[in-house]
A and B are shown apart, each in its own frame.
Chain A
Amino acid sequence: MAAARPGGSSGRGPARTSRLWAGLLVAAGVLVVVALLSLSVGSKAIPLPEVWSSLVNPGTGYSDVVVASRIPRTILGVLVGAALAVSGVIMQGLTRNPLGDPGLLGVNVGAAASIVTAAAFFGAGSLATSVWVALPGAFLAVVVVFLIGSAGRGSNLVRLVLAGAVVTAVIAAYIQAVTLSLPDVFDSYRYWVVGSLAGRDPALALQIAPFIVVGLLLAVWIAPALNAVALGDETATALGVNTVTVRLIGAVATTVLCAAATAAVGPIGFVGLAVPHIVRGFTGPDHRWLVAYSALLGPVLLLVADVVGRAIVSPQELMVGVVTAFIGAPVLLVVVRRMRGAA
């Protein structure tokens, strides 16, 4: 299978590759720094040297306790950020459009619907945040959106987005009907639906990690094929890529990643849209590099949003879902403004 390796807009071959590897190391470094920042900022600000010493020699002092309480949150942020960003890469690769975001296609809402259904009809009234509960709704939403959006000849992004908006509206109406009828469910739902890294059960990170790892592996596996798909279906088939299989695996990977992320922290949008878009400016269109960079920079964006949410209204907190919406939506608007020929 011929994996496309573009010459790139600047630099050729080996020089470009080593630049990309260097950039990857820098991205990893930035992630470490941001993670430490996430452990340090908050209603009780702990200076970085103390954070470092608390990690290296865990003690029982006050700052050690605070740092320890922020660790699960940071780990969750890393996992969820990576999952959302990589699922965005896949979605944009499958739809051949830089505006693809899994949230726009109803995955998050579908996951929320099945979680609410489980809580209302099968559970004890509190939102069970198991990934297995979130998966059926997420898959159902994606399938319906693709069925509607692909009716007739082919599908482009606007059609999928419209189908996604319709499915989202219907599912949201269902969620409203259920939550307004059951006040207990409504109470837990309204805290969960904003999308927040705070107050989540530390064991959640362990629970969603396998799903996210599986999703990331699937993404890495089909990344070379996505390069071929980007050239068009006929060209991809001529290059020996089975586009149907690639689409299927891609859809599965996206749904699993998003469902796991949503089940853990609630629906968070725009990370999947903004991160690949920013990354593409540096790496070019090669999906292997896109996946690698997005897996590192997605957590950076999410943790930065979380830190901002903690810093802005200290000592209270602004949930990370709100911050990403207010950062990511303007990014979308800027991208749409710059789009040419999308009349």
Chain B
Amino acid sequence: MPAARRPPRVAASRPVLRVGRFVSLPVSSRGVAVAAIALLVLLAVSVATLTAGRLGLPLAGLLPALVSDPGSAEGFVLSRLRAPRLVVGIAAGAALGVSGALFQTVTRNPLGSPDVIGIGIGAGAGAAAFGLLWPGIVPLPVGALIGAGVAIGLVWIGTGRGFSSPSRVILTGIGVSAMGAAFVQYGIARAGREEATVLAAYLSGSLASRSWQDAAIIWSSLVLLLPLALLLGTRLRLIEMGDETADALGARSNTTRVLSIVIAVGLSAAAVSVAGPVAFVALAAPQVAKRLARAPGAAIVLSAVVGAVMLCVADLLVQQAPFGVQLPVGVITAAVGGVYLGYLLISEFKKGTM
């Protein structure tokens, strides 16, 4: 009989964050490190946004300017032009990132995204309807929200099975988007030239002329919905393994899916109502976040930070780029995001996972 051996040392389990008696969250050290780096990048981009260009504040004077009102010109640039835009951009990017992460996890499909189910173009149609055709009934963001809701409802009815079948959702979403696009183009063609240009910019997602009210809307939505998304974290990690396995392990897959989609739609609708339908951030940010985190699960916090970085970088480019006219930020995200998505599609098709 072999001599009694000491029990083998258990491999170090994942570090756990404990707060008091009630909070105990497993934490991935790599995830935390990457999130910290991403936050630093976000800070750098924010500083760059506030200081770059002809109208930018000087770097040395930035901190004092944030604390106290520095006087007419700089105060105007800070409090009316750049700061609200930056603040809205951070929150909208975060909301889009989280929304995309939730969608992709519950559909188990890297292309699941609020973009393809018509939220964005529904918001555009709502903006066209309540901004141009029947102005004055509701404020524009509310109109955009209504349009987004109608689009989602149509997709839900149109698939015949709710959101459970990704291919059907994609096809139906494309049909609904086409209707929305036709409506929007009709609105633009009917409108006067000034309004048409403003509306056309809104349709592609723009952060121009955002106000502190918009910032309040998006930040309150984010503060409300992000913790809810985090609470679903464990269940989402289980859902990745398949519905039966998840159910056997106690994550009620149907309930989780419905909750996740509701939260994702809420976040996406909030982002769309303040920034318009910014393309592809909701699709690309979670993918980048997953590749950086290399951990199972939805990487919600990291998706939020990456989404915020993406949108702010795109906005910085748009503000400082040497075009004659300031383009809407959605044009950049669509172009870059589209190319990235094409690359993603090709690699997914080659792997045969689609």
Residue numbers of A with Cβ under 8 A of B are 99, 103-104, 148-149, 151-153, 158-159, 161-163, 165-167, 169-170, 172-174, 176-177, 179-181, 183, 186-187, 190-191, 193-194, 269-270, 318-319, 321-322, 325-326, 328-330, 332-333, 336-339, 342-343
Using A180-B197, A190-B185, A322-B186 as known contacts, say yes or no to A173 and B167 having CB atoms under 8 A apart. no
Query: A187 to chain B: which residues have CB within 8 Å?
Result: 193
Interface contact A337-B158, CB-CB below 8 Å: yes
Interface contact A173-B181, CB-CB below 8 Å: no
CB distance from B345 to the nearest CB of A (A): 6
CB distance from A317 to the nearest CB of B (A): 11
Residue of B nearest to A145 (CB): B342
Main secondary structure, interface of A, reads: helix
Residue of B nearest to A326 (CB): B179
Interface contact A336-B323, CB-CB below 8 Å: no
Interface contact A170-B197, CB-CB below 8 Å: no
Residue of A nearest to B203 (CB): A176
Interface contact A173-B334, CB-CB below 8 Å: yes
Interface contact B328-A180, CB-CB below 8 Å: yes
Residue of A nearest to B182 (CB): A325
CB distance from A151 to the nearest CB of B (A): 4
The verdict on B324 contacting chain A, using a C-beta distance below 8 Å, is: yes
Interface contact A333-B154, CB-CB below 8 Å: yes
Interface contact B200-A270, CB-CB below 8 Å: no
The verdict on B352 contacting chain A, using a C-beta distance below 8 Å, is: yes
Question: Total A-B pairs in contact (CB under 8 Å)?
Answer: 159
Chain B 313-325 interface mask (CB, 8 Å, partner A; 1/0) = 0000000000111
Query: A269 to chain B: which residues have CB within 8 Å?
Result: 178, 182
Tell me, in angstroms, the Cα distance from A173 to B176 when the chains sit together: 20
The verdict on B175 contacting chain A, using a C-beta distance below 8 Å, is: yes
Tell me, in angstroms, the Cα distance from A193 to B167 when the chains sit together: 29
CB distance from B194 to the nearest CB of A (A): 10
* Cross-interface CB contact of B189 among A152, A181, A190, cutoff 8 Å: A190
Interface contact A169-B280, CB-CB below 8 Å: yes
Tell me, in angstroms, the Cα distance from A167 to B349 when the chains sit together: 16
Chain B 157-195 interface mask (CB, 8 Å, partner A; 1/0) = 111100001011011101110110111011011000100
CB distance from A193 to the nearest CB of B (A): 6
* Cross-interface CB contact of A342 among B168, B178, B349, cutoff 8 Å: B168
Tell me, in angstroms, the Cα distance from A270 to B177 when the chains sit together: 13
Interface contact A337-B160, CB-CB below 8 Å: yes
Residue of B nearest to A147 (CB): B346
Using A322-B182, A333-B154, A336-B175 as known contacts, say yes or no to A166 and B342 having CB atoms under 8 A apart. yes
Interface contact B165-A161, CB-CB below 8 Å: no
Known: A166-B345, A190-B185. 20 other contacts (CB 8 A): A151-B350, A158-B167, A161-B170, A161-B171, A163-B342, A166-B338, A166-B341, A167-B342, A169-B280, A169-B334, A170-B335, A180-B201, A194-B186, A319-B189, A326-B182, A332-B171, A332-B178, A333-B157, A336-B159, A336-B160
